[in-house]
Amino acid sequence: MAVTFKETYGLFIGGEFTPALSGETFDVFNPATGEKLAAAAKAEAADVDRAVKAAWSAFPQWAAMNVRDRSELLWAISDIVEENLEYLTEIETLNNGKLLREARCDIEDVVDQFRYFASCIRSGEGSYVDQGDGNFNILKREPLGVVGQIVPWNYPLSMACWKIAPAMAAGNCIVIKPASSTPLSLLIFAELVQSVIPAGVLNIVTGGGGSCGEALAAHPDIRKIAFTGSTAVGAKIGAIAGGNIIPSTLELGGKSAQILFPDCQWDRALDSVCEGILSNAGQICSAGSRAFIHADIYDEFVQALTERFQAVKVGNGMDDESEMGPVIDSHQLEVILDYVTIGKAEGARLATGGNRKCGGDFDKGYFMEPTLFADVTNQMRIAQEEIFGPVLACIRFTDEKEVIDMANDSPYGLAGSVWTQDINRGIRVAGAIGAGLVWINAFGLYPAGTSFGGYKKSGYGREAHKTTLDSYSQMKSIFVATAE
């Protein structure tokens, strides 16, 4: 299927596409070329209210659907996505800028998430608690109702479906807001599955975070809010949810550590460190942006990283030869460049990169050189603050305790990795790192069933695991007294 975009995409409410009540739209661009791709409806509070009402209208019938039928419906969605995998891959690349191979993995993950949660609900069971004297409790889980979801621009469709799949599986109806810079893949996903999902079960509102997003988070008829994005915005979302006495799931920022011991498998570790910070141009909350390298191999490993960074072919994600695409927009590019200035001022050594890619087609988009800082200390801002770009800070360590202390000396705790052929040390260090997900001799693998979520300012709650169903449901206890 050739990728063609409509001139304008409406809001998806009650199973139909509809304009915003104001009639206003905003433009959506390709970050690699600056080309306008389409326009999307600009939702305000009144539009969010329409979507919430449509979701509540659909809820009774959806919640009452038996588990087998709901599971089969989720499988049907996954089949449709799989059938349109290459189509959705190109849409994601055009709107987000990431490489085709990266976008393809994202869409494959969407298929996996729907199938995983479709299977999980078929194996779900309640419980029985004997209270003595013929009395007992039946414990069951019930859906929350209508849930609100807000997703970021770095993984537009896969992050959305990390939330949509478990929420639907648990029997909830959804109002979801994609990032205003990358709404197209989610809207086109809705077009593709429109005939399968009952009207009102999934509703999509597009618009700015300050109007549409806040209206969704604060809506009095929302029973849960799930948010992925910056820690600063997440704090506001959590406060709003707390004020409304509803649960929230927050997947926020990160400053993940990749720890390399002298006995690491050199080539695999080198590949992983590069992939961990250069994938999606470093715009990943769990990006391995701090490389802790043992003093015995530090100089040699940093030199190998420098050569690898310099050899990376930066270009349009639609070009199969490209190895890193653009960042999302001019604002994010300026943020990254500001951090390069900060790193140099702090005394870190800029080993390579640090500049915007210019000339020719680069001038049309937002391309950044792969950037590596050496001789970084863990107290520097470039080692403590989330940059959200292809910038790696290389930090030297000498022993196990020191590196654990430094890895944990961070406001974040999302992910990390340990590279060593000593499995005892690997498990010991992984266990000591204060992060929600730690890989040993790997980085950046997120198959369905891998619990994902953070400690500290990286947020709370877990996604991509069957326990996510618990966060989209509530427990009911039915006490039965059998005495005559």
SS (H, E, C) 142-166: EECCEEEEECCCCCHHHHHHHHHHH
pLDDT value at position 125? 86
**Could you say which of 102, 214, 251, 369 is catalytic?**
251
Instruction: Please list, in sequence order, all residues whose beta carbon lies within 8 angstroms of the beta carbon of residue 375, skipping any fewer than 6 positions away.
Output: 347, 348, 349, 394, 396
Cα gap 84→90, rounded to integer Å: 10
Cα gap 250→152, rounded to integer Å: 12
Cα gap 121→170, rounded to integer Å: 8
| pLDDT-flagged residues of the chain (< 50) | none
Indicate the DSSP class of residue 417: E
Catalytic status, residue 285: yes
Pairing of strands 415-419, 459-460: unpaired
pLDDT value at position 75? 98
Straight-line distance from the first to the last Cα atom of the chain, in angstroms, rounded to the nearest whole number: 68
Cα gap 60→62, rounded to integer Å: 6
Phi/psi of residue 482, nearest 5 degrees: -100, -5
Domains present along the chain, CATH in parentheses: 8-252+459-477 (3.40.605.10), 257-448 (3.40.309.10)
SS3 272: helix
Catalytic status, residue 212: no
What does the buried/exposed string (b/e) look like for 228-258 if buried means 16 or more CB atoms within 10 Å of the residue's CB? bbebebbeebbebbeebebbbbbbbbbbbbb
**Could you say which of 161, 173, 285, 394 is catalytic?**
285
Query: Got the DSSP string for 155-205?
Result: SHHHHHHHHHHHHHHTT-EEEEE--TTS-HHHHHHHHHHTTTSPTTSEEE-
